[in-house]
Amino acid sequence: MRAFLVLTAILLLATSALDTVGQSTGPSLIDIEKVRLGLEYIKATEPETITEQIRITEIPAPPFKEARRAEYFRKKFQELGLKNVRMDEVGNVIGERPGTGGSAAPTMVLAAHLDTVFDDEVVKVTREGNLIKGLGIGDDGRGLTLLITMVRTLNELKIDTVGNLIVVANVGEEGLGDLRGTRHLFAKELKGKVTHFISIDGTGLGITNGAVGSYRYRVTFKGPGGHSYGAFGMPNPIHALGRAIEKISKFQVPTDPKTTFNVGRIEGGTSVNSIAHTASFEIDMRSVSKAELEKMDASFKKAVQVSLNEENGRWTSPRKITVDMSQVGSRPTGEQKADALIVRAALEADKALGIKSELDAGSTDSNIPISLGIPAITIDGGGLGRGAHSPDESWDATDSHLGSQRAFLAILGILGVDSRSPK
């Protein structure tokens, strides 16, 4: 019978042998020579990993324009010897590394997102020692790089996993991308095939097991517009917009469960002496609680409608304005239980490496599988990032290899190592 070697406290496909976290009759991953050598290899090649990270980051991937970076990963996946390398209809790049256990063994997706929040078509990365600056260097230049590092390490050490690994560089995680890449994976491309999901996103050494849900809208007030003096006396879309934002700014939301709102963009008008014919804003509302998110959603819609009525009622003009509320994003809430195998795999990897991380909640690609009941977490990629989503984004590479090593152990904690792997 094939021997399955797995993480301390994690017996692959045999969780009944597990009484409590930290207690198991199974051997430890780090007792396996190839795994120990893999950890050493990751640390030794971290400079090469960082060079790759800079190279990837300098390939622009603005929202909905990830094609150049995607093509780089398609070629890289082929060079790494992944099987069935392909780009799906929404732009995700997918490669497979089959395990020895066949279809009965776990099938895990390891993912990182291609897109950034920046519209820049040219990205320049600078470095001074361990401090590296550049748009997207951490989010998600680091996560994308570790996709390559994980496969390269498994290949170099000739480690055969029991479970099947599917590596994905996906589109559409940021902003109005609305997780379109992972939505497509689970609705079409990989529907029914995935048993576990880990995304690597951002920097640090955190573990995200809570899915922060969000609703996003673009609200547009429309009217006839006119001259600021000659047409004065008609409803003004910009004034209505101001009324709505003022009401939204007074929302009272709980800190537990954490619930937030933000008007992130406004636009409209043609000149200082014109009554605008259109004005719009975009709002992001988030919560770890679906009930609180729904409550805020109702308050938001009421505030917009009241603002429309107030602005139309303010003037005697028969010319009225209208409003359109278009939902441009909806991310599901959810939680991966702390005692789930996939969470414990990451925590046991932390324990083996002397890392002390905490479970947290966030809005990531893991939202989709978590909402579907598929075991999923998002892990940070190591190093220390600052200024994510800002022009001043930077990343400190001090001890960044720990993020790579943790990802390596967590993956093997789910997929297992076949003891018959070639020497």
Residue spans per domain, the chain:
4-211+333-418, 213-331
- The pLDDT of residue 64 is 96
**What are the backbone dihedrals phi and psi of residue 20, each rounded to the nearest 5 degrees, phi first?**
-140, 160
- The pLDDT of residue 179 is 97
The Cα–Cα gap between 404 and 386 comes to 19
- The pLDDT of residue 1 is 37
Q: Would the CA dihedral through 267, 271, 273, 278 be positive or negative?
A: negative
- The pLDDT of residue 28 is 81
Q: For the chain, what percentages of helix, strand and coil (3-state, to nearest 5) are there? A: 35, 25, 40
Helix pair angle (46-57, 141-156), 10° resolution: 140
In angstroms, the first-to-last Cα distance of the chain is 19
Stated length of the chain:
423
What is the second-level CATH architecture of the domain 213-331? 2-Layer Sandwich (3.30)
- The pLDDT of residue 8 is 36
412 in Cβ contact with 381 (< 8 Å): no
Q: Can 4-211+333-418 and 213-331 be said to share one CATH topology?
A: no
Tell me the pLDDT of the chain averaged across its residues.
93
- CA-nearest of 111, 136, 40, 33 to 401 is 40
- The pLDDT of residue 2 is 39
The Cα–Cα gap between 77 and 67 comes to 15
- The pLDDT of residue 420 is 80
CATH for 4-211+333-418 is 3.40.630.10
pTM over cut 0.75: yes
The Cα–Cα gap between 221 and 275 comes to 12
- The pLDDT of residue 423 is 66
**Residue segments in the chain with a per-residue pLDDT below the cut of 70:** 1-27, 423
